[in-house]
Structure 1
Amino acid sequence: MKITHVEVHRIDVPAADPPFHWRHGLSGSAPVGDGAVLHIGTDEGAEGVALFARPGAAVTLRELVDRVFREELLGADPLRREWLWHRVWELDRIHELPLPTLGLIDTALWDLAARASGVPVWQLLGGFREAIPAYASTSTFATTEEFLDVADQCLALGYHGIKLHAWGDARRDAALCQALRAHVGPDVPLMYDGSAGFDLPDAILLGRALAEADYLWYEEPMREFSVSAYRQLAERVDVPLLVAETSDGAHMNSADFIRAGAATFGVRAGTTLRGGITGAMRTAHLADAYRLRAEVHGSDIPNHHLCMAISNTTYYESLVTATTVVRERHVDDRGLVRAPTGPGIALPLDFGYPAALERFVEQPR
């Protein structure tokens, strides 16, 4: 089997309704959903796709395919995913690829292989579970009262825990986190994500408040450029740290956080920022060797499969972005996410990309 065409299709990803925002200093939801589908096809009819949904996604991805990826992929065996994963990292050495693009080829090739085998990707990966509890991962709301009301709604809908994305003010966020613990009681798992908003002194201040409130994990309080800063944070706070979400290098960089003693809860795994499915699985196995967690980041479809394949992940992350909460369609009334059943990754058609992708006919350029 050989790869015969590598194409990019611009798609319209529906904008969030209502719009939402993150902490102070970060942009929120995009007003127009700009995305792209990477499509890889073969001489035997096997094909796979990967979705890239970021501002300017189609322009970025088409330029990378035309300039870098197509020449590398045409004529290659699509089942040699390990080889091609290494080739992408070799190309990154020269081209400095955007972090979310490093795993797109890998994800599409896993989709292709699983479709060709007639099984879901999570089964091709070996499979660990058929259901996993979901936690509600909030966007940033205006007031403490809104956060508490959203938490009540989420728990009533069956979610198994709450993770806060707050304002990026260490003292205000600390007060919110402690107010939420007092509101929901001692038994609800709570987590906090700083979205890299703090320096070390403020990260310590907030981390101590989270420890007092018995939070399950403390996620990305600082930019992940300095492993030594995270090591110092781990030495000064008792709340467990979940790290290595946006740092480059997939499992290689995650290993440095672990070796430094900075990953006291675990590390992030996911297709979008850790080098696709292959990078995520390497990260998970690395963490497991140290008896740490590899928490899957994000609620897109490929990460749905990862949740079923990775033994040392705890929850499915389900984004909640409105003050009137509607359960994500993958989450049932018991707060569980069930394993996908269709072959491949099975990206849903309601993203809006052409139905022609189900039967690709365009010739390579």
Structure 2
Amino acid sequence: MLQDLVDRVFRDELLGADPFQREWLWHRAWELDRIHELPLPTLGLIDVALWDLAGRVHDEPVWRLLGGFRETIPAYASTSTFATTEEFLDVADQCLALGYHGIKLHAWGDARRDAELCQALRAHVGPGVPLMYDGSAGFDLPDALFLGRALAEADYLWYEEPMREFSVSAYQRLAESVSVPLLVAETSDGAHMNSADFIKAGAATFGVRAGTTLRGGITGAMRTAHLADAFRVRAEVHGSDIPNHHLCMAISNTTYYESLVTSTRVVRERHVDDQGLVRAPTGPGIALPLDFGYGSELQRFVETSD
């Protein structure tokens, strides 16, 4: 699919263009989207590549070109879906022992069973550990309301994407009915333009998602973050892709780095240290790390030193 889009849509637009006119190229990509209904991640790939080029030309990591806000950020453990409550609790113990600063659950998509798990996890770890829940758009409004009330009772930090994000009004009703803060506008189309509607409706009571994959690259994610900041809500960086390391260091109103935990035997992600912190990339551009099994055509773009 990507090769087809490059050949059919992007090649003629990009060849000969000024790669430092990122704003123009980002704007142009959205015009092409109107006609071709492009998958949002493809817009992000182009934008990330342009930022990477700029960093290499200026011999600076992208987060510094974006202004730079911090050099470390705490990581939370973002779980896969495990089979039993006992497995979730054991994974939580491992994550906390490894230094993670919080835990986010991806559970089973059954509102009542998930509510019991969320309350069991709170009882297990105690009141001082930040906990989050990601619904992965698995619920309708009645079940989202039920689960949201349970999360509020268990003092969860945020309640993420419980419903498909087609209906802002459904999220508005949810926000009016539960006290747990909502983190929304993750997979909805339109980048910051769509996030604005969630914020205006009062549905983003914790904040909105920002990330390179689903918000049109670094440019779209930064626009989303600045929009959210104007309304004094968070723009939580979504996912552990390498470009998102740079966003975490550049966005003032983000709280954590999301580190994926995919197995019941937890191994700390390579970018997370024993204090549960992620440190700013030091190489120029996006600074792809060594030893990721890149093809020969990409080897010249990876880091050559720490």
Please confirm whether the aligned pair reaches a TM-score higher than 0.5, indicating the same fold.
yes
Regions of 4+ moved over 3 Å: none
Q: Does 1:115 align with 2:32?
A: no
CA contact (8 A) 1:120 1:340 kept: yes
**Corresponding residue for 1:96?**
37
CA RMSD of aligned residues (A): 0.9
**Corresponding residue for 1:343?**
284
Q: Does 1:208 align with 2:149?
A: yes
Q: C-alpha distance in 2, partners of 1:356/1:301? A: 19
Equivalent in 6, 12, 17 of residue 76 of structure 1: 17
Q: Does 1:234 align with 2:172?
A: no
Q: C-alpha distance in 1, partners of 2:297/2:2? A: 19
**Corresponding residue for 1:286?**
227
The one-letter code sitting in structure 1 at the alignment partner of 2:36 is: H
**Corresponding residue for 1:22?**
none
- Aligned ranges 1:210-225 → 2 under 5 Å: 210-225=151-166
- Aligned ranges 1:114-153 → 2 under 5 Å: 114-153=55-94
User: Residue deviations 1:1-49, cap 9 Å, x none?
Assistant: xxxxxxxxxxxxxxxxxxxxxxxxxxxxxxxxxxxxxxxxxxxxxxxxx
The one-letter code sitting in structure 2 at the alignment partner of 1:224 is: E
The CA deviation at 1:100 is 1.4
| 1:332–1:359 CA distance, 2 compared to 1 (3 A) | closer
The CA deviation at 1:101 is 1.1
The one-letter code sitting in structure 1 at the alignment partner of 2:180 is: V
User: Residue deviations 1:313-338, cap 9 Å, x none?
Assistant: 00000000100101000000000000
**Corresponding residue for 2:109?**
168
Q: C-alpha distance in 1, partners of 2:121/2:300? A: 49
Q: C-alpha distance in 2, partners of 1:299/1:358? A: 21
The CA deviation at 1:359 is 4.5
The CA deviation at 1:353 is 2.3
The CA deviation at 1:90 is 0.3
Q: State the percentage of identical aligned residues.
A: 89
Q: C-alpha distance in 1, partners of 2:175/2:114? A: 19
The CA deviation at 1:298 is 0.2
Q: Which structure dedicates a bigger proportion of its chain to strand?
A: 1
The CA deviation at 1:347 is 1.7
Structure 1 residue matching 2:291: 3-state secondary structure: helix
CA contact (8 A) 1:144 1:176 kept: yes
Q: Which structure dedicates a bigger proportion of its chain to helix?
A: 2
The CA deviation at 1:351 is 3.1
Q: C-alpha distance in 2, partners of 1:358/1:352? A: 9
Q: C-alpha distance in 2, partners of 1:136/1:265? A: 19
Q: Does 1:331 align with 2:300?
A: no
**Corresponding residue for 2:121?**
180
Q: C-alpha distance in 2, partners of 1:359/1:191? A: 39
Q: C-alpha distance in 2, partners of 1:357/1:235? A: 49
Q: C-alpha distance in 2, partners of 1:245/1:138? A: 17
Structure 1 residue matching 2:105: 3-state secondary structure: strand
Q: C-alpha distance in 1, partners of 2:136/2:295? A: 34
The one-letter code sitting in structure 2 at the alignment partner of 1:65 is: V
Q: C-alpha distance in 1, partners of 2:201/2:91? A: 37
CA contact (8 A) 1:349 1:355 kept: no
User: Residue deviations 1:265-297, cap 9 Å, x none?
Assistant: 000000000000000000000000000000000
The one-letter code sitting in structure 2 at the alignment partner of 1:111 is: D
Q: C-alpha distance in 2, partners of 1:61/1:119? A: 28
Q: C-alpha distance in 1, partners of 2:160/2:145? A: 13
Counting matched residue pairs gives 301
